[in-house]
Structure 1
Amino acid sequence: MESIKSQSHEVYLEELAEATLRQFVAKSNYSKVFVLVDENTKKHCLPLLVKKIEAQFAIDSIFEIKPGEEHKHINTCMLVWQWLSDQGGDRKSLLINLGGGVLTDLGGFVASTFKRGIDFINIPTTLLSMVDASVGGKTGVDLGVLKNQIGVINQPEMVLVLPEFLSTLEERQLRSGFAEMLKHGLIKDETYWKSLRDCSDYGTTNTIKKSIAIKNEVVTQDPTEQGIRKILNFGHTLGHAIESYCLDTPDKKTLLHGEAIAVGMILEGYLSHKLQGLSGLSLQEIKDTFLNHFDRAEFNKQDIDCIIDLLKYDKKNSHGDVNFVLLQSIGKAVTDIKVPEDLFHEAFAYYKE
C-alpha cells in the first residue's frame, strides 16, 4: 500500500509502516530512542511494537502517562520533560509517541519544545488519532478544561498507521473516531459521506486511508490554518464547548471527543440550514445519521447557557467574534461565519426534538 505524502513527512500504513520505521531508525543514528505510552497502550500496544522492531534497534527508555483528556495538561508535560532530561536526552534523540490523540498531541508538543525541538514519530493507536491526529502537525495541551489552548504546529518525522491496534479498542472508542470520518465526508466528499452513513464496520483500512487523504489534501493547501484548513473544524466549535463542559461538570456524563462533535455537527448543521442554505432534507439526513450511531445527550437550559458561554474561548475566534464553519451543502463547507446567539438555543431545541 502506498504512503500518503503530507507537507514534510509521510503517513505509512500496515506492512509499509513497519518496514519504514525499522529502516529509518536504523540509519538515522539517534543518540537515544524514547517511547511515550499511556497505561492502556503500554499493556495492549507496546508489546506488539517491541516485537516488530526489537531485531532492528533498541528502545533506551519508556515512560508511561495516565490516559484521558483530563491528563492532557502542562503538568503531564513537566513529567515527560523531566524524564527525557533524567535519561540523558539531547537534541539528537528521538521520541516515539504510541497512543491516541491525547498522547500524540502531548508527545508532539513535548518533543517540539524539549531542547528547542527533537525529532518525533507518531504511531496512533485509536481510530480517532489515525484519521485525525495523524495529519496536520497540531500539537498541544489543554488549559484547564479549555481544549488545545497551548501548542504549536510542528510536523513529525513520519506517522505510522497500524490498523491491527484497533482490535484493542472498545466499540465506543471506535465510534468516537468514526465521527471524524463522517465529518470528512460532510465537509469535502458527499460520496464518501453516503458510503459511511449506514456503515457498521467503523475502521477498515480503505476508509482510514480515505479519511487521511481527505484531511491531508486540506492541510497541504493550508498548513497553518489561515484559510481552507478551518473547514476541518466543522462541528468542533460547539462540540469542543460541549466536551469541555461535560469534562468539568461532575453530574454530566463525560463525552469522548467524537461523541461531543457528533452533537456539534447536528447543532452546526442546523445553523447551516438557517444561515447558509443547507437543505432541510440534508439537515435531517445529518441528524438521523449521527443519532443512528450515537446516543442522544441531555442538556437543560443551564447546561446550554454554560456551553454557549464557553464559545468565547474557541481558537478560531477573532476580534471578539465567534467564527463558525458551516455547510452550504453536504460536501461543501464555508468558514468564518458569525452566528446570532438566539440561533444557538434554536439549534439545541432542534437537537432535542
Structure 2
Amino acid sequence: MDTITENVIITNQVPLVLQQKIISEAYTNVAVLVDENTHEHCYNVIKAHLPEHTLIQIKSGEIHKNLESCKAIWHVLTQQSFDRKGVLINLGGGVIGDMGGFCARTYKRGIAFINIPTTLLAQVDASVGGKLGIDFDHFKNHIGLFSEPDQVIIDPIFLKTLPERQLRSGYAEVIKHNLIADAEGWETIKKNSFPATDWMDTLRHSVTLKADVVLKDPTEKGLRKTLNFGHTIGHAVESYLLRHDRSVLHGEAVAAGMITEAYISYNRQFIDNDSLKEIVDYIDLIFERIKLNENDILEISNYAIQDKKNKGNRIMAALLKEVGSAQWDTEISKDEIQQSLQYYTLQT
C-alpha cells in the first residue's frame, strides 16, 4: 500500500482500507453513489465489506453531470435522514467523484465523502486535488468548489472493468503530467507502447506528480494552473461537441488540446520543432484525431472565452516552456486557437 498524501492511498486491498476507514470514523449513515456501470462491475468488490447502507444510482456520462442529478442525490440523502456525520462513498469515474463530492459538501453545509475512482482518468487526475463540481449550460465544471475528499482509495483492480477506449482516455492525463512536470518520465513513456503499461507503477508516478503540484498550490493561484495544459482548448472542444451530441471522451478532447497547445508553444518559440513532432507523434499513436470542420473550429474558439482560467475577456492557457516544464496564465488569442485547430485538422 502506498500513501501518496494523508488522504490518498494506492492499494490492492480496497475493501480492507475502506472498512477500516468506516470503522475508525464511526459514521452514522453510509451511502454509496454509483452509475449503472459501476453498479454492475465494481459495487460487488466493496459491498460485503460495508455496514448497512443506502445505494444511490444515477445515469452514467458527462451529460448527466448536472443539477438534476444533484437533486436526485440530495433527495435520497434527505429521505434517509442523513445527518452531518454521514458519509457518501463515490464509486465511479470523474463524473461520480466530482458530482458526488459536490453533493456531499453542499448537503447540510457538508458531510464526509470518500472517493473510490474506478477509471484511469479519475485515478490519475480527478482523484487528487479536491476539485468538485458540475456542468452548467453545457460548460464544463461551471459550478463547483475546492474541497478535498476525506479519503481517496485507488485500486488498479477496477481498471480491468474498463473498455480500452476509456483506458486511453485516462492515459491523456498521464501524458500531460509528464509533459508539464517530468522530462525524464516523458522520455520513459514515449518509448513504451500503451498496452504494455504497468498500471501500478503508472498510477504511483502520475498521482505523485499531481499531488506534488497540488500540495504547493491547493487552490490554483499559480503553479497548479500548469495542470491545465491541454485543457483550455480541450475543454472548449469537449463542451462544443457535448452541446452538439457528438461523442467524445474527456481524455480524447485533452489529447486534441495538448496537440494544439503544444503547437502554440512551438509558435511562441518555447519548444522546438523536434519536441512538437515527438509530442504529436506519440499522442497520435494512442488517440484518433477528432474530425472538425471550419465551422467547428470557429465555434470552439468562441467556447474558449468561457474557460474558468480566463481573466476578463483574456483567454489564459498553460503552455509548455520546454518538455517537462510549463508556464501558466499565458494569454492566447482566438486567432491562435483557430490556427492551432487548423494545424490539428490538417495533420490528419
Q: What is the distance in 1 between the residues matched to 2:110 and 2:302?
A: 36
Q: What is the distance in 2 between the residues matched to 1:147 and 1:209?
A: 27
Using the TM superposition, give the Cα deviation of residue 2 of structure 1 relative to its aligned residue in structure 2, in angstroms: 2.4
* Contact kept in structure 2, 1:129 and 1:177, CA below 8 Å: yes
Using the TM superposition, give the Cα deviation of residue 276 of structure 1 relative to its aligned residue in structure 2, in angstroms: 4.5
Matched, 1:120 2:117: no
> 1:157-205: CA deviations, max 9, x gaps?
1100111111110000000000000000000001112222233235610
Q: Which residue of structure 1 aligns with residue 37 of structure 2?
A: 40
> 1:283-326: CA deviations, max 9, x gaps?
01111111111111111110000000001110001122110100
Q: What is the distance in 1 between the residues matched to 2:112 and 2:322?
A: 41
Q: Which amino acid aligns with 1:95?
A: L
Using the TM superposition, give the Cα deviation of residue 16 of structure 1 relative to its aligned residue in structure 2, in angstroms: 5.3
Matched, 1:133 2:121: no
Q: Which amino acid aligns with 2:256?
A: V
Q: What is the distance in 1 between the residues matched to 2:76 and 2:334?
A: 46
* Contact kept in structure 1, 2:314 and 2:332, CA below 8 Å: no
State the percentage of identical aligned residues: 44
Matched, 1:30 2:23: no
Q: Which amino acid aligns with 1:237?
A: T
Q: 1:256 aligns with which of 238, 249, 252?
A: 249
Q: Which residue of structure 1 aligns with residue 64 of structure 2?
A: 71
1:9-28 → structure 2 map (5 Å cutoff) = 9-15=6-12, 17-28=14-25
Q: What is the distance in 2 between the residues matched to 1:205 and 1:18?
A: 17
Q: Which amino acid aligns with 2:18?
A: L
Matched, 1:226 2:221: yes
Q: What is the distance in 1 between the residues matched to 2:27 and 2:332?
A: 50
Q: Which residue of structure 2 aligns with residue 243 of structure 1?
A: 238
Matched, 1:91 2:80: no
> 1:247-279: CA deviations, max 9, x gaps?
1114xx411000000000000000001124211
* Contact kept in structure 2, 1:178 and 1:203, CA below 8 Å: no
196-205 vs 86-95, which deviates more?
Answer: 196-205
1:318-333 → structure 2 map (5 Å cutoff) = 318-333=311-326
| SS of residue in 2 equivalent to 1:344 | helix
* Contact kept in structure 2, 1:127 and 1:203, CA below 8 Å: no
> 1:43-85: CA deviations, max 9, x gaps?
000011113x1xxx41321010000000000110000001000
TM-score, normalising length: structure 1: 0.95
Q: Which amino acid aligns with 2:208?
A: A
TM-aligned CA distance change 1:203 to 1:302, over 3 Å: farther
| SS of residue in 2 equivalent to 1:3 | strand
| SS of residue in 2 equivalent to 1:142 | strand
Q: Which amino acid aligns with 2:293?
A: N
Q: Which residue of structure 2 aligns with residue 211 of structure 1?
A: 206
Q: What is the distance in 2 between the residues matched to 1:302 and 1:90?
A: 50
Q: CA RMSD in A?
A: 1.2
335-344 vs 224-233, which deviates more?
Answer: 335-344
| SS of residue in 2 equivalent to 1:96 | strand
Q: Which residue of structure 1 aligns with residue 194 of structure 2?
A: 200
Q: 2:154 aligns with which of 158, 161, 165?
A: 161
Q: Which amino acid aligns with 2:317?
A: F
Gaps (5+ residues) in structure 2? none
147-156 vs 275-284, which deviates more?
Answer: 275-284
Matched, 1:277 2:270: yes
Gaps (5+ residues) in structure 1? none
> 1:318-347: CA deviations, max 9, x gaps?
122110100011101001111233222321
* Contact kept in structure 2, 1:174 and 1:203, CA below 8 Å: no
TM-score, normalising length: structure 2: 0.96
* Contact kept in structure 2, 1:141 and 1:149, CA below 8 Å: yes
> Matched residue pairs, number?
344
Q: What is the distance in 1 between the residues matched to 2:104 and 2:137?
A: 21
> 1:63-109: CA deviations, max 9, x gaps?
10000000000110000001000011110101100000000000000
Matched, 1:2 2:2: yes
| SS of residue in 2 equivalent to 1:325 | strand
